[in-house]
Amino acid sequence: MSATTTARALQEYLDHLTIERGRSANTITAYRRDLARYTAYLDGLGLDPGEVTMSVVEDYVVVVRTGSDGGSALAAGSAARSLAALRGWHSFVLDEGQATHNPAHGIRPPAQGKRLPKAISTHEVELLLAAAGAGDGPASLRDRALLELLYSTGARISEAINLDVDDLDLTPGLASVRLFGKGSKERVVPVGSYAVDALDAYLVRARPELAGAGRGTPGVFLNTRGARLSRQSAWAILRASAELAGLPGAAHVSPHTLRHSFATHLLSGGADVRVVQELLGHASVTTTQIYTMVTADALREVYIQSHPRAL
């Protein structure tokens, strides 16, 4: 099979994905990019798809991970996506009778390292929240209420900015918020007293002024035009507060940082992982268990510092 024939086989596969499998344009673009790199590699070796062995594919995975072919070095996840693309192509070529085997069939994707959440300490959280509330204008009251709520409930930023006033119950001692997570799955999460105080101050002293500039949106958190606060604006609020608080790595503090900190601090305080799972709205406890690695590291550090025969 010549380079021209290989290119034709590749186009036939992409047409198959588009017409018969109904893949999206974005998926086709990604497959085309991954497979163009792969077929160029095969052309460089003088191989057609029917001559490719498992070792050739294994070598190619190393190539894309290191970028030794002159292309970008791919992270484990991107290399796994590339492997899936070429496995699908080889399967198609096999079904079309242009090969006798699929050399990528038994190859496992590169292992992806577990990405531990980055949490900030309780002291840093206090500095962050204090910085958010610096000043007494409507924006300062809103910013403090937003960040207090994020840390108090572990809400995703999208859940917080989509809150309506009716989703809040600020009854002292029984305060809660109704959150709508991925797939519109609803959960009710308790709200701590500090967040209740901040929300109450914002709703009474600031939100009416902000709402007056808009058209009566039911959203809790509003911008200066009276419209619902955007995701980008919420990020900017947190970033500015982190910088004002002088937090290390302030440029990398994100709304998810407060969600990670919420979970990590709960587990460090003795909360059951199943309870934290429900509070975070995770479908599987496996997702939540990554936070236990963080607290295990903290426990190990305390053990090393405290036990007379640890070292």
Helices (H), 53-117: 54-66, 76-95
In the chain, the amino acid numbered 5 is T
Q: Which of 282, 300, 303, 309 does the annotation list as catalytic?
A: 282
Q: Which of 156, 228, 260, 265 does the annotation list as catalytic?
A: 156
Q: Which of 13, 31, 41, 291 does the annotation list as catalytic?
A: 291
| 90 included as an active-site residue | no
| 182 included as an active-site residue | yes
DSSP of 208-264:
HHHHTTTT---BSSB-TTSSBPPHHHHHHHHHHHHHHHT-TTGGG--HHHHHHHHHH
Q: Which of 207, 259, 260, 265 does the annotation list as catalytic?
A: 259
| 118 included as an active-site residue | no
| 185 included as an active-site residue | no
Contacts of 9 (CB under 8 A, 6+ apart): 1, 49, 89, 93, 96, 98
In the chain, the amino acid numbered 79 is A
Q: Within 13 Å of residue 224, how many CA atoms lie on the same side as its CB?
A: 5
Alpha-carbon distance values, 220 to 213, 226, 259 (Å): 14, 10, 19
| 303 included as an active-site residue | no
Q: Which of 182, 205, 274, 300 does the annotation list as catalytic?
A: 182
d(CA 44, CA 85): 19
| 105 included as an active-site residue | no
Q: Which two tokens stand for residue 183?
A: 């797939």
Say how many C-beta atoms besides its own lie within 10 A of residue 145's C-beta: 26
Active site residues: 156, 182, 256, 259, 282, 291
